[in-house]
A = this chain, B = another copy of it.
Amino acid sequence: MAKVVTFGEVMLRLAPPEYLRVVQTELFEATYGGAECNVAVSLANYGIDAAFVTRLPKNNIGDAAINACRRYGVDTSLIVRGGERVGIYYCEKGASVRPSKVTYDRAHSSISTAKVGDIDWDKAFDGAEWFHFTGITPALSDDVAELTLEGCKKAKEKGLMVSCDLNFRKKLWSKEKACAVMSELMKYVDVCIANEEDADDVFGIKAPATDITKGELDREGYKYVAKTLAERFDFKYVAITLRESISASDNNWSAMLYDGSDFMFSKKYALRIVDRVGGGDSFGGGLIYGLISGMSAKDSLEFAVAASALKHTIHGDMNQVSVDEVKTLMGGDASGRVQR
């Protein structure tokens, strides 16, 4: 069984039930999630030996975050305890013309105050084949950026594949800072994942003439972006997720993959959304699974898109689907007939 290590933050997600707003609720649904942690859960659900590395405080909220990961089969033995708090995000689920609204309360979290030396990368990568992080992790603080760089170097040293989802977060850092830090990290990355805006936000690589709020996507533009990214950073694969937002309730979802020679476009799914958060992460989890388990590039892409299409129907950040379920959808059955 292959071993994948992911590194980043897991937050407590506080969401009012159903479509309530924060000002209306007397209850928060409490789940845990974070980009890299979500990828680890996806992989564990596919039978991959997935470990998640982070730093969490020595208190009951830190314990609960760990429990949430190991409940779904993730190896949490590498998690370091210390620091002040578990980061939080409040999530109001949108519907129709009202967008979902995320309010972050993540500053001062234990991982954001981690320092180089807190993670024993040698131990973490022992027996591992793949290292995954996203652009959120180095954005947490300069120290964490350094720590990420250290992880990348060690991963390359030990011959691991390295993947990164650009995941630009404007609340965490500026485009300029992101560009500087990420450009350095990209030297160690083999597989780059981005959504339709990230390449522009982080590296100023822009698909010309696309208005994403209208939900029209430009194939040629994305080819250009993928090719530019691949050439600039010498990536083996560039994957771009393509979301057409019709409303907060309805999205079209597909992706493209560029392997240095071919541009592959996946099937497009018309989705009714149950929970959109973690959609990109579930794509990453699916793509890593496909590539690490020996699927072709095209099949890996289709697996990743089908997996993330399913994620949009799953409550919480973490995708909860099996390889069989993904393959059934990927194989063409989107009819939703009851499985008895």
Contacts and interface: CB of A to CB of B under 8 A. Distances in A.
Interface of A: 14, 18-31, 59-61, 63-64, 67-68, 70-73, 84-86, 88, 90, 92, 94-105, 107-108, 169-171, 212-215, 245-250, 269-277, 306, 309-310, 312-316, 320-321, 325, 329, 332-340
As for how many copies of this chain the complex holds, the number is: 6
Contacts of A101: 60, 338-339
Contact of A28 (B19, B27, B314): B27
Contact of A247 (B248, B272, B276): B272
Contacts of A24: 315-316, 320
Nearest to A21: B320
Contacts of A60: 21-23, 90, 92, 101, 103
Given A22-B61, A245-B336, A95 B274 contact: yes
User: Closest 5 A-B residue pairs measured CB to CB?
Assistant: A248-B336, A71-B71, A245-B335, A96-B272, A98-B313
Given A60-B103, A215-B335, 6 more contacts: A26-B26, A26-B31, A96-B271, A169-B340, A214-B335, A246-B336
A340 B104 contact: yes
A203 to B, nearest CB: 20
A254 to B, nearest CB: 13
B273 A96 contact: yes
A103 B61 contact: yes
A248 to B, nearest CB: 3
13 contacts: A19-B313, A21-B60, A26-B29, A26-B31, A60-B103, A97-B306, A98-B314, A99-B339, A171-B340, A215-B335, A245-B335, A247-B270, A247-B334
A94 B269 contact: no
A213 B272 contact: no
Given A25-B30, A272-B249, A277 B338 contact: yes
Nearest to A86: B105
Interface centre among A107, A169, A275, A337 (most CB of B within 10 A): A337
Contacts of A334: 97, 247
Contacts of A61: 22, 90, 103, 105
Contacts of A68: 71
Contacts of A72: 23, 67
A265 B8 CA distance: 50
Contacts of A99: 335-339
A336 B94 CA distance: 7
Nearest to A72: B67
Contact of A102 (B86, B316, B338): B338
Contacts of A59: 103
Given A19-B314, A70-B71, A315-B19, A97 B336 contact: yes
A275 to B, nearest CB: 8
A90 B205 CA distance: 44
Interface centre among A64, A73, A306 (most CB of B within 10 A): A64
Interface centre among A21, A273, A329, A333 (most CB of B within 10 A): A21
B98 A325 contact: yes
B339 A100 contact: yes
A50 to B, nearest CB: 13
